[in-house]
Amino acid sequence: MSNESEDLKVLYTNRFGQEEAQRTDLWQVLCSDFFQKWVPRDAVVLDVAAGHCEFINNIRAGRKIAVDLNPDVKVRAAADVETHNVRSDAMTEIADASVDRVFISNFFEHVPREVIVSTLVEVRRVLKPGGKLMILQPNVRYCAKDYWMFFDHITPVDDRALVEALHATGYDVDTCIPRFLPYTTKSRLPSGPGLVRLYLKIPLAWRFLGAQAFVVATPSKA
């Protein structure tokens, strides 16, 4: 096991260990009531930097794949999820044009700009024609005060810069919601499943509480 992988394991165990049950409940609702509408039930879905696999475990799909450098991904993934310990910009075990949907959540703030670009290029390689990239990303435009509360945040990203990076790497942006979810599960997002469902049904609330952007993009045809 590399030192980098071991460091990731320790860091995220310390950060999320106390709130795992809450995060599981949260992601069950987010997937069933919001993200699922972007994912056909027979789709091949790839979760990049899958972490604790909250998204990929709870989304319904024909084939589910999780990629992460953290070796814990193999333990966190459900039985129906394939796992690969590889870099986000070197997913050599994933074939060209083999994936219908790619999901990336809370990742780009942890890596240098050049890795953001190389990851977007790599995702474009594995996406099928007409496939979609879904990104959930802390939006520094609305959470600048707390953006650096996490030791491993190194790159500030906002919705406008993310859209620009997508265009530069060959994507068309289909949807951009600058303010969607609150910044962290430690913030003002209601913790109970019923309250989360209510929050998702009231986009007006997103404008006041949301500090993460949600972006959907498709590889350009040209």
pLDDT of residue 185: 60
User: What is the number of other CB atoms lying within 10 angstroms of the CB of residue 144?
Assistant: 12
Task: Please give the Cα distance from 191 to 213 (Å, whole number).
Answer: 20
User: Which residue(s) pair with 45 in the sheet?
Assistant: 64, 101
Please report which confidence band the pLDDT of residue 24 belongs to, taking 50, 70 and 90 as the band edges.
confident
What mean pLDDT is predicted for residues 48-75? Answer: 96
Closest CA to 7 of 160, 130, 152, 221: 152
DSSP 8-class letter at 38 = G
- Round to the nearest angstrom and report the end-to-end CA distance of the chain: 41
According to CATH, the topology of domain 3-219 is Rossmann fold (3.40.50)
pLDDT digits (tens, 9 = 90+) for 186-201: 555 556 788 889 999 9
Q: Which residue has the tokens 């005060």?
A: 145
pLDDT digits (tens, 9 = 90+) for 153-180: 999 999 999 999 999 999 999 999 999 9
Helix spans in 34-170 (H):
54-58, 73-76, 113-126, 140-143, 159-168
Q: What distance separates the 2 farthest-apart alpha carbons in the chain? A: 47
pLDDT of residue 87: 97
Bridge pairing between strands 99-105 and 127-138:
parallel
pLDDT of residue 99: 98
Helix and strand numbers (H, E) in the chain are 9, 7
CA 56 from chain center: how many Å? 10
Task: Please give the Cα distance from 1 to 152 (Å, whole number).
Answer: 20
Please report which confidence band the pLDDT of residue 19 belongs to, taking 50, 70 and 90 as the band edges.
low
Which H or E run includes 14?
Answer: helix 3-16
Domain assignments of the chain as residue spans, ordered by start: 3-219
pLDDT of residue 150: 79
> And the tokens for 112?
């240098």
pLDDT of residue 160: 98
